Structures are given as C-alpha cells and as structure tokens.
Homo-oligomer: A and B are copies of this chain.
Amino acid sequence: MFVVMRTGATDAEVNGVKGLILAEGLTPFENAGADRVVIAVVGEIGARRPQLKARLEATPGVATVTAISKPYKLVSREFHPEDTVIRVLDAVIGDGSLTVMAGPCSIESREQLLETVDFVAAHGATVIRGGAFKPRTSPYSFQGLGVEGLRYLAEARERTGLPVITEVMEPSQVDIVAEYADILQIGTRNMQNFSLLLACGRAGRPVMLKRGFGATIEEWLMAAEYIASAGNPSIVLCERGIRTFETYARNTLDLTAVPVVHHLTHLPVVVDPSHATGKRWLVKPLAIGGVAVGADGIMVEVHPRPDEALSDAEQQLDFPAFASMMDAVTAVHEHVRDLHGDLVRGANGGGANGGGANGGGPTGGA
C-alpha cells in the first residue's frame, strides 16, 4: 500500500501517517520526491486492508492511498519513480555515467592485486573488485585468502582512491567484510539466501546483488526487496547470465533484463560478461552490448597473467585486452547514454515521464 501525501504536506502530517502505520505493527518507508512525499506501508497487512486504507485516507495531509501492483514494493518504480543514484567515495553509480568494476576474480597475493588495480585504475575503472571469500563448486578448490585478502583490498583503495567491492558469503561475515569493503557483493548462488540479504540490508553499505543463474527477474527484484525492507536503499543489480540449454558459453547473458529492470525498478544495473560467458574473447563484445542496451556499468575480471590464475583462468582479461575493451565501451557509452531514457520510461505509460522530475531516464542525467 502507498500513501501519497498532498503537495505541501507538513512534516507533522507526514509523521502522523507514519505513527498510524507503526501503531499497526507495520513499517513506513518514505520517498520524498521533488513535489510530494510517498510512504510505503510494509508488512503483513492481511484482512486489515480496507479499514486501514479508510483510516489513512482520512488522515490529514493524505492525497490518496493506492495498492502497489507488483509483489516488490520499495524497489518498484511505482513507489520511487526517480532513478536511484549511489555515491561511494568519489564514484557515482546510476547517474548516467559509466561504472566499471574491474579486478581479479580471486585475490591471490598482494602483488597480484596491486599490479592489477594500478593498471585498471589508470585505464578507467571506477570501482575495484577482488574476491577474498570465494564460493567454489568444489570443496577442494582454492577458497580465497579470506581476511588477508580484505586487507589487500583496503590497501588497493588507499592507493587508487577508488571504492572496493567484494563478496560476502554468510551473515556472520558481513561485519568483517563491511569493515574493509565499500560495497558488499552477494553472489549468484546466494541470491535467495534470505538471512544474508537481511544481514546486508542492515550493514550500512551499498550492496550489489547478482542475479541467480536460475532466477527470474521477478525473484531477483524480490531478493532486492529483502535488502530494501531491512532499511538499505542503496542496491545495485548485476545481470550475470542465466542457465539455459545453450552450452557454448557458460551461461546466457540476458541483456533483455537490462531495459526490463530499468522499467520495473529505480535501481541501477550492471552486467558481468566475464562470468556469463566464461570465455575471454567474448567479454569485449558483450561488455559493449551491455552498455548499448543501457546498463549503468559493467563488472569484468582482469588478471596480470590469466593463464596462471587460481580461479576462472579462461575468462579473465589480460591488461591489453582490458585496455582495448575500455576504449570500446567508453566510445559506445558516449553514444547511447541519451538513447534509452524516453523509450524505457515511455513504457511506464505516462506522457509526462519523459520530462519533469523524472527527466532523462535510466541512463540519462546531467
């Protein structure tokens, strides 16, 4: 349920609505738009719905009370029409600029990480990635350097000034990872690890949520809703390929999901062509494709000597390939950033969506 306040509603009126919601054992989430405030009512409403709606409508300052048509509430465009823009250190995600998260699959040593981050930072990366805790299909594969890896990441941040992102695999790791990392990553196999989603939602750090390789778009957004419902609105989605019958590449990168997600939610979305394809030579064309369909950025794996990598050797870019890819995606990004806004937003149905407060669309902006 959404409570739309009147234009010019006072703080006291907004608080009155919130108080009524809290008194029902429900949680109010406020979105203060350019001209008016919207409050989402979250929790198990059940049979109370008609009476609660009537009481809210009769509360001072309330314009309308409406149902939300989607199962996800806080992450929907219905609740929050403006694009979410996330700022971490000097990086900005979701404002129409190109986010490039780059670094090794696994942090293997201090030298390997720093050599890589120096190169990618000098060639346009805006966020540093590197795995310290590694989810591996086999218990006998390299499981990552753990906290030692986190420390190297922190050193990488100091060296480059760029924020760092790394994966967290269980609720009890959230505190230690949040101590070192600027963005918490939830991996594809944990997309519906609900305890982890809630723990990350309470961690006070932006979260990047990878799509489960067996998950529908709706399930992905419901997983994001878990994070948002725990109080964290700073969520980046990451499309990394879904499992299909086609086996040439490791998974099938679902680039359709990018405009769909921009249409259904206000969250930024990046694509990960490294994990999707599992093949180095496919990373560049699909990074270009991802940016072209309107993604807010890409995540790619880079290693100084991919053939010696302890994980995902087949898909990591070497330095020249990363530089070549960056030239290409930067060029394409320049030419597509103004192409998508109207169409995606137009699909939201409103004639006014192309202008005014929502102006510019998902990849638009100043």
Contacts and interface: CB of A to CB of B under 8 A. Distances in A.
Interface of A: 42-44, 71-73, 135-142, 169-173, 189-190, 192-196, 198, 212-219, 222, 225-226, 229, 242-249, 252-260, 263, 276-277, 281-282, 284-286, 288-289, 291-294, 324, 328, 331-332, 335-336, 339-340, 342-344, 346-347
A339 to B, nearest CB: 5
Contact of A214 (B194, B213, B253): B213
A248 B218 contact: yes
A73 B141 CA distance: 13
Nearest to A217: B248
A228 to B, nearest CB: 9
A282 B259 contact: yes
A255 to B, nearest CB: 5
A243 B216 CA distance: 10
A135 B289 contact: no
A195 B215 contact: no
A260 to B, nearest CB: 6
Nearest to A74: B139
A118 to B, nearest CB: 24
B242 A245 contact: yes
Given A246-B242, A255-B253, A255-B286, A281 B343 contact: yes
A365 to B, nearest CB: 17
A193 B194 contact: no
Contacts of A263: 281
A209 B141 CA distance: 21
Given A172-B172, A243-B245, A246-B257, 10 more contacts: A171-B171, A213-B214, A218-B248, A242-B244, A244-B252, A248-B257, A252-B254, A260-B282, A288-B340, A331-B339
B343 A285 contact: yes
B44 A140 contact: yes
B256 A277 contact: yes
Contact of A339 (B136, B293, B328): B328
A43 B140 contact: yes
Please name the 8 residue pairs, one residue from A and one from B, whose CB atoms are nearest each other, closest first.
A214-B214, A292-B292, A281-B347, A189-B192, A170-B195, A289-B293, A259-B285, A243-B245
Contacts of A245: 214, 216, 242-245
Contacts of A42: 140
Nearest to A259: B285
Given A252-B256, A335-B335, A226 B343 contact: no
A130 to B, nearest CB: 19
Contacts of A257: 246, 248
A65 B140 CA distance: 19
B214 A243 contact: yes
A217 B248 CA distance: 8
Nearest to A42: B140
Given A192-B189, A339-B331, A214 B216 contact: no
7 contacts: A44-B142, A139-B222, A169-B195, A216-B246, A244-B245, A284-B340, A286-B293
